[in-house]
Amino acid sequence: MNAEFKINGKQIETERLILRPFKQSDLNDFFEYASVEGVGEMAGWQHHENKDISQRILDSFISEDKTFAICLKSNNKVIGSLGIEKYGLEDKLTEFNNLKGREIGYVLSKDYWGQGLMPEAVKAIIDYLFVDLDFDFLTCGYFTFNNQSKRVQEKCGFKPYRKLELETQLGTKEQTLLNLLLNPSKKLNLVYSHPETLIYKK
């Protein structure tokens, strides 16, 4: 099942980053990276045409309190986001019935790609959710054309779990690879449903 989750003021520090809740003063930094064409599109949403759109999404980040701002320590700039989202198809994926977990999603400013920053952020989040909050599992997906995101998930230990066709916010249908990471400190034996989309190997 989907775990309860709120950031609740939590701040996580890594070597180069601080992950913290979004605040209203992040609007300019958020718009700066979200308005670049070809960034959000890789995650299924359209780049922001104007600041009003960024403001609306920023308001939802703040009120829903489940999306971390990724802040670069060296210049104190918000350069991306990392969301602790609800995973979909909760009623169908019965293997998670007695377990608690979430799906993570992320975006990084194009100016900072290729420096290993997102794997650094994701590893810190995995540690927080598995060790401090005792989650059992995490899922994370990517459209099959998105090799960059695939690499992040591989570097963080996720394993191929299901192949699905999902509808995006852009109205397109995309082949999606869903990955799974089980909490390694627990000896979990899952009985997987829906073999027709399953590709998970222990």
Ligand X SMILES: CC(C)(COP(=O)(O)OP(=O)(O)OC[C@H]1O[C@@H](n2cnc3c(N)ncnc32)[C@H](O)[C@@H]1OP(=O)(O)O)[C@@H](O)C(=O)NCCC(=O)NCCS
User: Please, which residue, 21 or 141, has the CB nearer to ligand X?
Assistant: 141
Q: Which is closer to ligand X, CB of 87 or CB of 142?
A: 142
171 binds ligand X (CB under 6 A): no
Is 179 a binding residue for ligand X by CB under 6 A? The answer is no
Q: Is residue 124 a contact point for ligand X (CB under 6 A)? A: no
The reply to whether 145 sits near ligand X by the rule CB under 6 A is no
Of positions 114, 171, 195, 202, contacts ligand X by CB under 6 A: 114
Pairing state of beta strands 67-72 and 17-21?
antiparallel
Q: Give yes or no for residue 42 binding ligand X (CB under 6 A).
A: yes
Of the ranges 61-69, 88-96, 100-108, 130-138, which one interacts with ligand X (CB under 6 A)?
100-108
74/63 Cα distance (integer angstroms): 28
Alpha helix (H) residue ranges in the chain: 27-34, 51-64, 117-127, 147-155
CB-closest chain residue to ligand X: 114
CA atoms 43, 126, 183, 95: torsion sign: negative
Q: Are 60 and 24 in contact (CB under 8 A)?
A: no
- Pair of tokens at residue 11: 């701040």
Shortest gap between Cβ of 104 and ligand X (angstroms)?
Answer: 9
